[in-house]
Amino acid sequence: MSKLLHTPSLLLVGVVLLALNPTVACRAEALAQAGALPKPDPDDGGISLPPGFRALVVADNLVVGRKSGKNDEHLRFITVAPNGDLYAKLLHGGILALRDTDGDGRADMIKEFGPGDGGTHIMIHDAWLYHSSRTAVYRYPYVFGELLPSGGMQTVVRDLPAEKDHDAKAFAFDDRGRMIVEVGSPYNVYSDGDRRLGAKGKTPAEVEEFQKTYGGFWRFDPHKLNQTQADGVRFSTGHRHSLALAWHPTAHEFFMVMMGRDQMNTIAPAYYDDLDNAERDAEEMHRLKEGADLGWPYTYWDPIKKARMVGPEYGGDNRKRDDNPRFDQPVVAFPAHWAPLQMTLYSGTQFPAHYRNGLFVAFHGSWNRAPRAQAGYKIAFVPFDAKGLPTGAYETFADGFAGVDYFTNTRDARFRPGGVAVGPDGSLYVSETEKGRIWRIIYTGESAPATAGPSPVTVAAQTPPPIGADTPGGKIFLQVCAACHMPNGSGVPGMQPPLIGSAVVAGDARRLIDVILRGPAAVLPADREKFNNIMPPFALAYNDEEIASLVNYLRRNFSPAANTVTPRQVAAMRGK
């Protein structure tokens, strides 16, 4: 029984249920007695692992072809129940419940439940199945052996702020049962002209007021229902956005990984080039003590200089350091733009002792390194010492998700890791967001896989030379727009729309001009497909000649059959 249940409260629930339900009792007893690991896939599900580890695909294509309204569905975080059932959160829909009924390691029963308002985080804690939407944290009573909750859903925290970006709500519990929930910043950097050339940071007074609502964790009592942010206590501040979060029982502290900033070369090209942007703003792991300030929006951590630097919006020039002692220093600095998503403590015993009480982090992979090669797309492991502190380094644990060894466009990646969770037998489960595959990683002690995984292929880093790159519009696109839409106009799934095949680019010139002048949110239908990064208006940034040149650059490269426009047409739209 100890292999199935890992908390006293769940143990009690399980004992009672097994006594009352012979079917569940028989299945649980068979699982407990079997002790055998499932057969791994010959190619380990297409990923690479350290010697001794193998993998199998538990479920596949869970979101392929699925839509919620006009939005493509994506798989987000996962959790594993004490009996081995899996729960996976959908970005726009409900929760997927997966069960292996015949013991072969594959999910052969998949059902969906929940409110259907999407979200990211999900966790079983203290006999409750918690999950979050963009604005709330909910819970269902968890009964051992039930695949679908029989009890009603409760709202723990509601009406949390959720704006255009960084709206997912991560949460975790300390050893006293208290819950912290993040409210991320809706900005790259809190500034006038966010993500644009020459953006200027807000004043300290404005930042202080902003951080009363955004950019930190708030602590709540999970036993109280229908709380709002005002009922919580601000636990930490100075965050950009942090989804990778876990409690460490030895350190008696939370650990988290903050997503570093983007687009330094867009903001200040005189001081930062595309290599600086690709390498010099770390994803920061912190020991998250109460009252911590992580330094956003004023600073970023340079993993090469190993120093906290002043951001370009606040006068940073790639040399100015910020030694303010109130800003916490990271315990581990991961490379830039890897995009940390779910993080979990390895609490099992199946893996070798090296992995016990360490943290696994799922990295979704970069989008903001172009025109340099993208990176990340892996599961990293952070070993901890006996005192509950990171040893100072990270290891690549699972790799090969992208399926390519050099690429600049995220659409070329085969898989993008998103979720990671530990099962009751010590197996590590990993999910990916775009297709909805879930792997189970096991330790067999084999010195090498029976069959090597697929060899990575090389995707050409360069596309045909753009037409009109030396025009004013071409220079604006390559300096400002390409960072989000990619130099070849492919976009980034869920983040920015593609320009190739875009009806807005190819359609009515007046609408395209209006979108550039006022921003898509002010022009396009409210029920259009939504993306995490929203294009700002450019009416004040560029004159009529520059906007016309930009429109013509877009059309020449991404919709050659469309007509060109003149500065007079831009002036007419600007003045309407």
Q: pTM, whole model, 2 decimals?
A: 0.84
**Does the structure show a pLDDT above 80 at 461?**
no
Residue 539's pLDDT is 85
**Does the structure show a pLDDT above 70 at 453?**
no
For the segment 3-11, the average pLDDT, to the nearest whole number, is 38
1/506: higher pLDDT: 506
280 phi and psi angles, rounded to 5 deg: -105, 15
**Does the structure show a pLDDT above 60 at 515?**
yes
Distance (Å, rounded) from C-alpha 570 to C-alpha 96?
48
Positions of E strands within 184-317 = 191-192, 200-201, 216-220, 233-236, 244-248, 253-258, 283-288, 299-302, 307-310
Distance (Å, rounded) from C-alpha 539 to C-alpha 541?
6
pLDDT in tens, 133-152: 999 999 999 999 999 999 99
State the first-to-last Cα distance of the chain, in angstroms, to the nearest integer: 72
**Does the structure show a pLDDT above 80 at 4?**
no
The four Cα atoms 142, 147, 152, 157 give a dihedral, to 10 degrees, of 60
The DSSP letter of residue 39 is P
Distance (Å, rounded) from C-alpha 145 to C-alpha 486?
47
For residue 562, how many other CB atoms are within 10 A of its CB?
18
Closest CA to 118 of 162, 79, 74, 148: 74
Distance (Å, rounded) from C-alpha 358 to C-alpha 430?
16
Residue 478's pLDDT is 79
* Tokens (6 digits) for 300: 């970023």
Closest CA to 341 of 415, 433, 235, 237: 433
Residue 21's pLDDT is 46
6/280: higher pLDDT: 280
The β-bridge relationship of strands 340-345 and 299-302 is unpaired
**Does the structure show a pLDDT above 80 at 457?**
no
For the segment 523-531, the average pLDDT, to the nearest whole number, is 80
pLDDT in tens, 172-218: 999 999 999 999 999 999 999 998 889 999 999 999 999 999 999 99
Tell me the DSSP string of 144-165: TT-SS--SPPEEEE------SS
> Where residue 165 falls among pLDDT bands split at 50, 70, 90?
confident
Distance (Å, rounded) from C-alpha 308 to C-alpha 282?
10
Q: Percent of the chain having pLDDT more than 70?
A: 90
For residue 469, how many other CB atoms are within 10 A of its CB?
14
For the segment 265-288, the average pLDDT, to the nearest whole number, is 95
Least confident of 26-40, 82-96, 288-302, 318-332: 26-40
Q: Percent of the chain having pLDDT more than 90?
A: 69
**Does the structure show a pLDDT above 70 at 254?**
yes
Positions of E strands within 210-290 = 216-220, 233-236, 244-248, 253-258, 283-288
* Tokens (6 digits) for 262: 């983007």
> Bridge partners of 173?
179
pLDDT in tens, 376-402: 999 999 999 999 999 988 999 999 999
For each of the domains in the chain, give its residue range(s) and CATH number, in order of start: 37-457 (2.120.10.30), 472-574 (1.10.760.10)
Least confident of 325-329, 364-368, 509-513: 509-513
For the segment 443-451, the average pLDDT, to the nearest whole number, is 71
Residue 330's pLDDT is 96
**Does the structure show a pLDDT above 50 at 308?**
yes
Residue 10's pLDDT is 43
Least confident of 125-129, 395-399, 504-508: 504-508
Mean pLDDT of the chain: 89
Which residue is associated with the tokens 């990993």? Answer: 430
Which residue is associated with the tokens 């800003």? Answer: 327
pLDDT in tens, 22-53: 444 344 434 433 468 999 999 999 999 999 99
Contact yes or no for 201/189 (Cβ under 8 A): yes
> Where residue 459 falls among pLDDT bands split at 50, 70, 90?
low
> Where residue 120 falls among pLDDT bands split at 50, 70, 90?
very high
Distance (Å, rounded) from C-alpha 107 to C-alpha 233?
40
Contact yes or no for 156/225 (Cβ under 8 A): yes
